[in-house]
Amino acid sequence: MSGLLDRAASAFVTPSRAPEAVARRFAPRALVLGSARDAVPVAAALAGGLRERERAAGALVLTWPSPDAPRPALGTPAASRLVANLTSRGLAAVARGRLAWLALGPDELDLARRAPAAGGGPAGVAVCGPRPAATDQLIDEQAQVVLIAPSDADPRLCELARQGLAEHSIPVSVRGPLITPGARATALAGWGRLRLPE
């Protein structure tokens, strides 16, 4: 009899949602910290990897601070639609490969937080040069933070940087720049893919 009552009661009880079914607040984003030369290609490749993982048609690469906007290149229709969406909001994005690229000036850090939400898809964010305290809110919105350490970097400094990010409760990894032949050029053309570290 209790089985019958349990089945009858279940008709009136809303089943709880599994944790993975709960919608994420943001589309996945990866923040890359390093020099402009090293951080930008890694951010582009991570955006490509997130695009593939999420089965998204396109993704955004955002660089801050960036003195020069990237030149447009051959872009997929999805990247062009993402560019059109960002441009309609007053953001000067360009398409390159499967990615929309947005270069922000030194005084446009607030746009680094808003632009990925406007794009609505995965994003790779390159913060080039020293990290100011103002980037803390940006870090909290990421799925992963990646520190780019040149081959001659002092491991103790890398560990200090990693510890400095620990308070954000975001996974942090340290990796070198893209050095495989062709990897940098492919990433900068918007066709590269790099998986987030586990």
CATH number at residue 179: 3.40.50
pLDDT digits (tens, 9 = 90+) for 149-161: 988 888 888 888 8
Structure confidence at residue 198 (pLDDT) = 64
- Give the 3-state secondary structure of the chain: CHHHHHHHHHCCCCCCCCHHHCCCCCCCEEEEEECHHHHHHHHHHHHHHHHHHHCCCCEEEEEECCCCCCCCCCECHHHHHHHHHHHCCCCCEEEEECEEEEECCCCCHHHHHHHHHHHCCCEEEEEECCCCHHHHHHHCCCCEEEEECCCCCCHHHHHHHHHHHHHHCCCEEEECCCCCCCHHHHHHCCCCCCCCCC
Structure confidence at residue 109 (pLDDT) = 87
In a domain, 19, yes or no: no
The whole domain housing 91 covers 24-188
In a domain, 10, yes or no: no
Which pLDDT band, with edges at 50, 70 and 90, does 7 fall under? very low
In a domain, 63, yes or no: yes
pLDDT digits (tens, 9 = 90+) for 94-125: 999 999 999 999 889 888 888 888 777 899 99
Question: What rounded mean pLDDT belongs to the chain?
Answer: 83
Mean pLDDT of all residues in 174-190: 93
Q: What is the pTM of this model?
A: 0.83
Mean pLDDT of all residues in 159-181: 87
pLDDT digits (tens, 9 = 90+) for 26-65: 678 999 999 999 999 999 999 999 999 999 999 999 999 9
In a domain, 141, yes or no: yes
Percent of the chain with pLDDT over 90: 46
Structure confidence at residue 60 (pLDDT) = 95
In a domain, 113, yes or no: yes
In a domain, 7, yes or no: no
Give the Cα separation of 50 and 1 in Å (integer): 51
In a domain, 6, yes or no: no
Q: Which residue has the higher pLDDT, 23 or 186?
A: 186
Number of domains in the chain: 1
Structure confidence at residue 146 (pLDDT) = 94
In a domain, 12, yes or no: no
